[in-house]
Amino acid sequence: MNAYVIGDNDMITGFRLVGVEGVEADTVEDAQLALRKALTRSDIGIIIISQLYFSDSTMQEQIDKIRQERVTPLIVEVPGSKGAFKQIQISEIISKILGMKI
């Protein structure tokens, strides 16, 4: 299984330096399209997305739905090189996936 990154140019470049494939997304719509395309690939086990796109509620809802319906790929948000970032606890992500507080 491979990793795949969706983020800004600097983020994509950094991940490519360590051999991780990805696509640059300039807008939330670009990120949503990239996510839909990545989900069609069976070789991707983890999708890493810049937190910048999580400010959009439709993107959050889409990812929450994917997390509840599918085992793979694992979708992880990480701070990108642009914009402010918020700290997220791993227990919060697991709670969203399981649908209950842990």
What pLDDT, on the 0 to 100 scale, is given for residue 32?
A: 92
What pLDDT, on the 0 to 100 scale, is given for residue 95?
A: 66
CATH number for the domain that contains residue 92: 3.40.50.10580
Q: How many domains does the chain have?
A: 1
Q: Which contiguous run of DSSP H or E holds residue 4?
A: strand 2-7
What pLDDT, on the 0 to 100 scale, is given for residue 47?
A: 92
Give me the tens of pLDDT residue by residue for the chain, a chain 102 residues long.
889 999 988 888 888 888 889 999 988 899 999 999 999 999 999 898 988 887 788 888 888 888 888 888 988 888 766 655 556 565 666 666 556 665
Cβ atoms within 10 Å of 84's Cβ, excluding its own = 8
What pLDDT, on the 0 to 100 scale, is given for residue 94?
A: 61
Domain that holds residue 34: 2-98
How many residues does the structure list for the chain?
Answer: 102
